[in-house]
Amino acid sequence: MLLIRVRAIFEKCGRAKYISHLDLNRCMLRTFRRSRLPIWYTEGFNPHPYYSFALALSLGFESSCEILDFNLNEDIPFDEIRDKLNAVMPEGMRIVKVAEQKQKITAIAKAEYSFSLVSDETEELFAAVQELIASPEILIEKKTKKGLKTVDIKPDMEILTCNKAENSIDISMYLPAGTQTNYNPTLFIEALKKTTEIPLETKNIRRTAILCADNTVFE
């Protein structure tokens, strides 16, 4: 039987950022059925369409680089696959690229995120952010299967930009992602809130890239 391994990159923005990972699975199942693409089904007593997401995205986060892997029984042009899926995708979700699967999921090592910290005390908040970034360690309480664990996220975090705007601090960073360790910006934000009493609001958290260990884009 012909088996074509396909990788799609899709956006998840606007209202779609409130679709949980569990609901995203159901949503994609309906999308595949409506698209009428020749999806490959698993074998066994309970056959179901095979598809998988490389990384779960936290509820409320936007993304321009989500990865969806699936198999087809027929060789169809990638542009046609993209267009058929986009014709039935829900609001806020859009396939931006379809290609062959080149790398294994285990090659994923990190993700790039951007977000804004909004406050009426921008100058003071910017100073607090700079102080936290410069600190020798950034300790947070992280939930694990064995309960809460104190983790230092500083060694695995790389700040790319930290800019002060009129009413916000705009930050982009690399954080570990993949099969072993997954961090997201809320850990940094929680650590910041523990070091300052300045009122702040987080806006526009977005995953902007999924990368390999050498900072090349995962494909």
Share of the chain above pLDDT 70, in %: 100
pLDDT digits (tens, 9 = 90+) for 55-89: 999 999 999 999 999 999 999 999 999 999 999 99
Give the helix ranges, DSSP H, for 48-184. 78-86, 122-134
| Dihedral of the alpha carbons of 4, 214, 117, 162, in degrees to the nearest 10 | -140
Q: Could you give the domains of the chain?
A: 4-102 (3.30.70.580), 107-211 (3.30.70)
Contact 122, 164 (CB under 8 A): yes
Residue 202 corresponds to which amino acid?
T
**Cβ–Cβ under 8 Å, residues 77 and 67:** no
Q: What is the pLDDT of residues 174-188, one digit of tens each?
A: 999 988 889 999 999
Task: Count CB-CB contacts under 10 A for residue 149.
Answer: 11
Q: For 21-60, what is each residue's pLDDT tens digit?
A: 999 999 999 999 999 999 998 887 888 888 999 999 999 9
